[in-house]
Structure 1
Amino acid sequence: MSLGRSLLTFALVGTCLSSQASVVMTGNRVVYPADAKQVSVQLTNQDDFPNVMQAWLDSGDEQSTPQTARAPFMLTPPMFRMAAHSGQTLRLQFTGADLPKDKESVFWLNILQIPPVAKGSEASNQMIVMLRSRMKVFWRPAGLQGSPNEMNKTTTASVSGRKLSLTNNSGYYASIAHVVVTIANKPVKLGGEMIAPGATKAWPLVGTPMGDSVQMTWINDQGAYLSGALPLKH
């Protein structure tokens, strides 16, 4: 949930050399402690050929570009070439903003991968595919309520009619992988959601949940899947 990939654009300038993002980022998210001078993100080019890369941050606009994106971070380098099977370190530096001190704020790191044009194809009017990856960046103040490893202790569950609601009472974003409820004596898996601090998300149900608890699975800072039971308020 922390990393998304999408086809960004097509250009009639060459041959499609890559249909999958093959420059990968280490980790499933970036955590930026509020008192840090900077944090680093490691990229690795798994291709047998070089790629040109462009990077930028935005505040949640999936259609953002380097020209339109707005986020309180400076990122270096913003554009670079990665040789085959090489690595590159990106450095993020918080530039200052009036962000809440009692909860996390989330931003997005965008990585655009531009594969090379095959020799001899410049005039062929074929397509090159550019792929964009997006990773969550959490700006994290110190002393927040709760823990990313114990989201089950600060999340409450309730049911009203055919709707299950989870409320995140912590200062951290809750990256829910899935929730399992029992309906008609059968387990029903509900899809993932990211719940902001203090927010509530609801899932429609096909029936009335049974029992006095639901099982929640969430993703922590290291990308591990953790599970715990939540008391269910009817």
Structure 2
Amino acid sequence: MPGLFRWSTFSRLLCLAITFSSAVLLYSSPGHAALTINGTRIIYDSHKRSVSVIISNPSKRPFAVQTWINTELDDTTTAVPFMPTPALFRLNAGKEQYVQINQWPHTLPNDRESVFYFNVQEIPQSKSSNTGVLNIAMRTRIKFFYRPTSIKNPADTHLKHLQWAVKKMDGHYYLEAHNPSPYFISFASLELRFNGQKESPTNPAMAAPFSRQLYRLSAFKPTADALVTFSSINDYGGVSPPLTAAITSAD
């Protein structure tokens, strides 16, 4: 099983890192890691046999590198139908490595996107003279979208079809985004304007296909002229032009 394979290689990688030093595993954004990935997200179109990712090491030291794909739960046991190859390798200073991602037989929905996460973990190579030195194992995690061929129109053409409302539940107001499209929508910005005030949810979660996503508000007061302004992240990591929409309802 893929999950069992990942746990086994992960254990061996940790053993390599702590032979002469202690290892600490930390999650990192791409900007804080030593290794770089040639993109901020991966799109796997279903008709393709595989997709490739380039991992580069612009630093002056070698790393042991592990790659794997998992779900939003970020566990090592849930099996996923994608396998990166190589899953474990050494990357010398100034070099790069192509990682090929292949799909296994699966029953993912064919009317909407599915989302997973591509992980790159870097562990500095230890030297025998570094006894007692703390080596930090950094991990970069980016979104991996599986896109069926039945989805024809570009994702950004569906932004204008988002429907917005404000709901009150358990004494708190929430901004609700209804996404009627087959795409995941990642917000680069999201701002609610009402009665001369503004409020922006912190790190707004993606709006999943054919679903409703809630964003908790703290300062909102019901008003008839409330507007929401938003932009999204496209397939290439760029940001779409901002759109403004009215709140269709407020409870």
Asked whether 1:85 is paired with 2:94, we answer yes
Residues 12 and 230 (structure 1), Cα distance of their counterparts in 2 relative to 1, 3 Å cut: farther
Distance (whole Å) between structure 1 residues aligned to residue 188 and residue 19 of structure 2: 39
| Secondary structure at the counterpart of residue 49 of structure 1 | coil
Q: Name stretches of at least 5 consecutive residues in structure 1 with no aligned partner.
A: 1-8
| Secondary structure at the counterpart of residue 220 of structure 2 | coil
CA contact (8 A) 2:155 2:234 kept: yes
**What's the offset of the Cα at 1:208?**
2.4
Residues 110-119 or 169-178, more deviating: 110-119
CA contact (8 A) 1:217 1:228 kept: yes
Distance (whole Å) between structure 1 residues aligned to residue 179 and residue 163 of structure 2: 7
Residues 36-45 or 171-180, more deviating: 171-180
**Match for 2:185 among 159, 170, 174?**
174
Residues 70 and 45 (structure 1), Cα distance of their counterparts in 2 relative to 1, 3 Å cut: same
Distance (whole Å) between structure 1 residues aligned to residue 63 and residue 180 of structure 2: 43
Name the counterpart of 2:29. Answer: none
Which is richer in strand? 1
**Match for 1:109 among 112, 118, 135?**
118
Report the residue type matching 1:82 in the other structure.
L
**Match for 1:208 among 221, 234, 244?**
221
CA contact (8 A) 1:151 1:174 kept: no
Percent of aligned pairs with the same residue?
Answer: 25
**Match for 2:175 among 153, 164, 167?**
164
1:8-66 per-residue CA deviation (whole Å, 9 max, x = no partner) reads x88473278xx9421111111100001101100111102101111111111233243xx
CA contact (8 A) 2:57 2:92 kept: yes
Which is richer in helix? 2
Residues 39 and 145 (structure 1), Cα distance of their counterparts in 2 relative to 1, 3 Å cut: closer
Distance (whole Å) between structure 2 residues aligned to residue 184 and residue 154 of structure 1: 25
Residues 147 and 153 (structure 1), Cα distance of their counterparts in 2 relative to 1, 3 Å cut: farther
Name the counterpart of 2:7. Answer: none
Q: Name stretches of at least 5 consecutive residues in structure 2 with no aligned partner.
A: 1-13, 27-31
**What's the offset of the Cα at 1:74?**
2.5
Distance (whole Å) between structure 2 residues aligned to residue 125 and residue 214 of structure 1: 53
CA contact (8 A) 2:193 2:226 kept: no
| Secondary structure at the counterpart of residue 159 of structure 2 | helix
Report the residue type matching 2:198 in the other structure.
P
What is the count of residue pairs matched by the alignment? Answer: 221
CA contact (8 A) 1:12 1:127 kept: no
**Match for 2:246 among 225, 231, 234?**
231
**What's the offset of the Cα at 1:120?**
1.0
Distance (whole Å) between structure 2 residues aligned to residue 156 and residue 139 of structure 1: 24
CA contact (8 A) 1:57 1:70 kept: no
TM-score, normalized by length of structure 1? 0.85
| Secondary structure at the counterpart of residue 208 of structure 1 | coil
Using CA pairs below 8 Å that are at least 6 residues apart, which structure has the higher relative contact order? Answer: 1
TM-score, normalized by length of structure 2? 0.80
Distance (whole Å) between structure 1 residues aligned to residue 71 and residue 91 of structure 2: 26
**Match for 1:62 among 65, 71, 74?**
74
